[in-house]
Structure 1
Amino acid sequence: MKRFSPDLPHLYVRGKNFVFRLVIPAHLRGLAGKAEFKVSLKTKDHLTALRKYGEVEPYYQNLMEKLRAGETLTSATDLSYEEIVKIAEMQGRTYTPLDQLLQNPTEFIQTHTNWTKAGKPKGRELQSYFGTATPTIKLSDLVTFYETDQIHLLSPLSDRERSKKINPLQNAVKQLTAFLGKDIELESLTRQQTRDFHKSLKAKIASQEIKANTASKYITHMRVLIKTYKLAHDDESETVFDGLNFIAEDNARPPFSIDFLNERWFKEDVFATLNPCAKALLFAVIDTGCSFKELCGLNPDHEIKLSATVPHIIIQENQNRQLKTAHRKRIIPLVGYSLRSFQDFPHGFTKYATGNGPSNASGLINKFMKNNGLLETDEHAIYSLRHTFKDRMRRHRIPEELQHYLMGHKDHGMGSRYGHGYPLEEIVTYMQHVSKDWKYLSLNDK
């Protein structure tokens, strides 16, 4: 075997066939498991050989750099599926999965013969001959896979809602790969690595760099991504993140006190400078306990019933929005401040009926309340009104099953699964008692 040209130090000719050879230094051969990298370019043509040399040489130089860095190449597990397929291609072979080889005895025998002639290589080259490598995925590709797999759930969401769901997943992957120092194949992610990541998050919590809830979300999001990928490939086994949890802090918003609302919100028209639609939307929450998203997404033709014997709204999925859970579907009679809001805006809160409307309204109103001293503490926000609504129902001894229904929460009791539930005429009676919490409701009378 002779060198083809001094300018191409690793290109050789054996007979009339071109071969790539790269000698491995003696002190690195233990890591490589061989003395040289040698690949037949499967051609006698000079131009074809030069083209293949340009493909093969950078690949094996990269392997040499790994050896110099102390990485072992004796195991096939340190290469991706794509890299193993590439080995077959560079050696002029077609990578064929083992199950297909076994279905064609002639092809299997020929593959075995070729493997024997090549010196029965082991590790990654053995996998490239007999197709035992399996497709895998890098950590950085998990979110894209999740979006494709869960398209039936994501497609109905607005751009903002989709971002709120996807961005935390992307951030979790970013945190993990930053800890690992590189993007790796999912199959190569070990339990020890995830335990070390978990330990590093503990240290960040201890140094107050992050909160326990944040760390818990990183772990949960990675578990969701990996589980989604595994289930899509009929793998129901545990993930390497299972059992690694944090005790999350209670970040629930505190409820407003009834006295604070009576004295600060209703005694005078402190909301006079807030645009009327935003004010009505805020006040609609007070005696319904609904979220902005639920109220802004109402279909005025089918879900706002002001002319009914009992004025009410219907919270259900429609073309404007999905519900957070199936339990959020409910019919809520309108009383007190919420009734006044819908009387002023009988077609709904159209200014905020867009996909980003609820978020825009939330930002505007929270800022207004903060600037005007309308938050009871720094921990309070609009969502605190839902907690207040729950406390008010408790205070007025509304049956617990009905409380769950009006809040849109799941009732774990068996009783809720029987019958048709409470009639609207009975629900409104309970709600009217609750609306009597407000001393100054008459100030808004027309």
Structure 2
Amino acid sequence: MKRFSPDLPHLYVRRKNFVFRLVIPTHLRDLAGKSEFKVSLKTKDNLTALRKYGEVEPYYQNLMEKLRRGETLTSASDLSYEEIVQMAAIQGRTYKPIDQLIQNPAEFMQTHNDWSKAGKPKGPEFQSYFGTATSTITLSGLVTFYEDDQIHLLSSLSARERSKKINPLQNAVKQFTAFLGKDIELKSLTRQQARDFHKSLKAKIASQEIKANTASKYITHMRVLIKTYKLAHDDETETAFDGLNFKADDNARPPFSIDFLNERWFKDDIFSTLNPCAKALLFAAIDTGCSFKELCGLNPEQDIKLTATIPHIIIQDNKNRQLKTTHRKRTIPLVGYSLKSFQAFPQGFTKYATDNGPSNASGLINKFMKNNGLLETDEHSVYSLRHTFKDRMRKHRLPEELQNFLMGHKAQGMGAHYGHGHSIEDSSTYLQHMCSDWKYFTPHAS
């Protein structure tokens, strides 16, 4: 066996096959239970060998560091479950739990032969062959694991959006571990502990400490975290929280009535003391049905089309924000109060085009409306405008498929996925008819 290159001290060639070999110093061999780390890279190709070397070398250097700290590698408990799974991958094998392995006798025998040829190693390496390692992750470690596993989805989110996604998961773990009185390993979690937590949440709902929706989120978030971890390790069994649910409160915001808006919002210029950008943002929501987040996230170069034959906006992914789901993408003709808003702010609502902008605008406008008697009830908020928009579409008998499209809701049935859908001309005609709701609307008023 000869070294491949002086610059790669642990890469060797044996009969044209590449091998990684890291000699363990004499004084550390008792801790390691062997004299060297050696693994075939299972290739004769130079480039493939170099790539695999880059993967293997850091792994075994990490094991060497454990030895230097006085940690033994002869016991399976000295390596985490993830490290044992990684050990199998580094050696060109796929880690499979023992219960899966024994279901395929031929595969089990092949694994046994490979283990024998490797010198029948013990400890963690034995576990990496026969899938006998168990998870050692704690409940508090599930969130970090989730972030790593879902990085392909989380990387596209802004810092605020990422926090809104991760913080509830962290809080759910915090609530559960506080109930248990300690952090525990996932493998020790029992169904009874989950049921006891569920029961304790029922008591809090009964005493009005929390709402059913809040309790339901705790359970759901724990289920998501555990399921994500299990699926990442080819474990499709149920979680301890499966089937433990709460009937959620119906806390949907009520819609504003058309009469209330006409008499309290539009009859007089009662919004004159609200800053112009906030007012325009609010009025843009009236005849588009969009949320503040969607409106504030518009890219003026790509998403605002005021000079088109039919002025419109496009709700789509852009550099400012990502959509929750693919069916949220839509083209909305501008009519009525919404068209006037965009004509006043053709570049969009730049004052609130930041991560916190939609929330800041919502807080400011809700406070203004509360102080000026512009909320129909205490249950109303700016988000109620989306519910009003939906009711108005029902009133004017827009096709249900078009209603779902304009709201950004997922269409029901296969029929909605055929053809090109409703044209922008048809959508504009329907929305123009809806403007008849506004008793005091003047298209050319300032």
TM-score by length of 1: 0.73
Percent identity, please. 76
Cα distance in 2 for partners of 1:93, 1:350 equals: 62
CA displacement at 1:159 relative to structure 2: 1.5
SS of the aligned residue for 1:314 comes to strand
Cα distance in 2 for partners of 1:217, 1:334 equals: 37
1:405 equivalent in structure 2: 405
Cα distance in 2 for partners of 1:110, 1:285 equals: 67
Q: Indicate yes or no: 2:252 matched with 1:252.
A: yes
1:191 equivalent in structure 2: 191
Higher alpha-carbon Rg: 1
1:137 equivalent in structure 2: 137
Moved over 2 A (4+): 89-112, 130-136
Residues 88-127 of structure 1 aligned to structure 2 (within 5 Å): 93=74, 95=76, 103-105=114-116
1:289 equivalent in structure 2: 289
Q: Note if contact 2:134-2:187 (Cα within 8 Å) is conserved in structure 1.
A: no
CA displacement at 1:436 relative to structure 2: 1.2
2:394 equivalent in structure 1: 394
1:305 equivalent in structure 2: 305
The 3 A distance-change label for structure 1 pair 132 and 427 is closer
The 3 A distance-change label for structure 1 pair 94 and 204 is closer
Q: Indicate yes or no: 2:409 matched with 1:426.
A: no
1:39 equivalent in structure 2: none
CA displacement at 1:135 relative to structure 2: 3.7
Cα distance in 1 for partners of 2:389, 2:71 equals: 68
SS of the aligned residue for 1:313 comes to strand
2:217 equivalent in structure 1: 217
SS of the aligned residue for 2:314 comes to strand
CA displacement at 1:92 relative to structure 2: 8.1
- Deviates further, 245-254 or 413-422: 413-422
The 3 A distance-change label for structure 1 pair 158 and 197 is same
Cα distance in 2 for partners of 1:177, 1:391 equals: 44
Q: What value does the CA root-mean-square deviation take over the aligned residues?
A: 3.1
Residues 281-360 of structure 1 aligned to structure 2 (within 5 Å): 281-360=281-360
CA displacement at 1:443 relative to structure 2: 8.2
Residues 31-46 of structure 1 aligned to structure 2 (within 5 Å): none
2:362 equivalent in structure 1: 362
Cα distance in 1 for partners of 2:319, 2:173 equals: 32
CA displacement at 1:162 relative to structure 2: 1.2
SS of the aligned residue for 2:300 comes to coil
CA displacement at 1:415 relative to structure 2: 2.1
Unaligned 5+ segments in structure 2 are 1-26, 28-65, 92-110
Q: Note if contact 2:227-2:239 (Cα within 8 Å) is conserved in structure 1.
A: yes
The 3 A distance-change label for structure 1 pair 176 and 425 is same
The 3 A distance-change label for structure 1 pair 111 and 218 is closer
Cα distance in 1 for partners of 2:267, 2:133 equals: 73
The 3 A distance-change label for structure 1 pair 181 and 343 is same
CA displacement at 1:165 relative to structure 2: 1.0
CA displacement at 1:146 relative to structure 2: 0.7
Unaligned 5+ segments in structure 1 are 1-44, 46-84, 113-125
2:51 equivalent in structure 1: none
1:441 equivalent in structure 2: 441
The 3 A distance-change label for structure 1 pair 307 and 193 is same
CA displacement at 1:299 relative to structure 2: 1.2
2:154 equivalent in structure 1: 154
Cα distance in 2 for partners of 1:348, 1:186 equals: 48
Cα distance in 1 for partners of 2:419, 2:311 equals: 23
Q: Note if contact 2:142-2:226 (Cα within 8 Å) is conserved in structure 1.
A: yes
- Provide, for residues 223-271 of structure 1, a one-character-per-residue CA deviation record: whole Å limited to 9, x for no partner: 0000111111111111111111111111100000111111111111111
SS of the aligned residue for 2:331 comes to strand
1:406 aligned partner, one-letter code: L
SS of the aligned residue for 2:420 comes to coil
Cα distance in 1 for partners of 2:275, 2:352 equals: 12
CA displacement at 1:182 relative to structure 2: 0.6
The 3 A distance-change label for structure 1 pair 93 and 418 is closer
Q: Note if contact 2:281-2:295 (Cα within 8 Å) is conserved in structure 1.
A: yes
1:164 aligned partner, one-letter code: K
SS of the aligned residue for 1:441 comes to coil
Cα distance in 2 for partners of 1:180, 1:239 equals: 17
Cα distance in 2 for partners of 1:443, 1:310 equals: 15
The 3 A distance-change label for structure 1 pair 390 and 94 is same
Cα distance in 1 for partners of 2:174, 2:423 equals: 51
- Deviates further, 389-398 or 147-156: 147-156
The 3 A distance-change label for structure 1 pair 196 and 416 is same
- Provide, for residues 343-368 of structure 1, a one-character-per-residue CA deviation record: whole Å limited to 9, x for no partner: 00011111111122111111111111
SS of the aligned residue for 1:436 comes to helix
CA displacement at 1:108 relative to structure 2: 7.1
TM-score by length of 2: 0.73
Q: Note if contact 2:333-2:427 (Cα within 8 Å) is conserved in structure 1.
A: yes
1:274 equivalent in structure 2: 274
CA displacement at 1:372 relative to structure 2: 1.3
The 3 A distance-change label for structure 1 pair 320 and 90 is closer
- Provide, for residues 154-181 of structure 1, a one-character-per-residue CA deviation record: whole Å limited to 9, x for no partner: 1121221111111111110011101111
1:403 aligned partner, one-letter code: Q
- Provide, for residues 414-436 of structure 1, a one-character-per-residue CA deviation record: whole Å limited to 9, x for no partner: 32111111111111110011111
- Provide, for residues 295-333 of structure 1, a one-character-per-residue CA deviation record: whole Å limited to 9, x for no partner: 111111121111111111111111111111111111110
Cα distance in 2 for partners of 1:395, 1:302 equals: 32
1:175 equivalent in structure 2: 175
Cα distance in 2 for partners of 1:110, 1:280 equals: 71
SS of the aligned residue for 1:277 comes to helix
The 3 A distance-change label for structure 1 pair 365 and 133 is same
Q: Note if contact 2:74-2:122 (Cα within 8 Å) is conserved in structure 1.
A: no
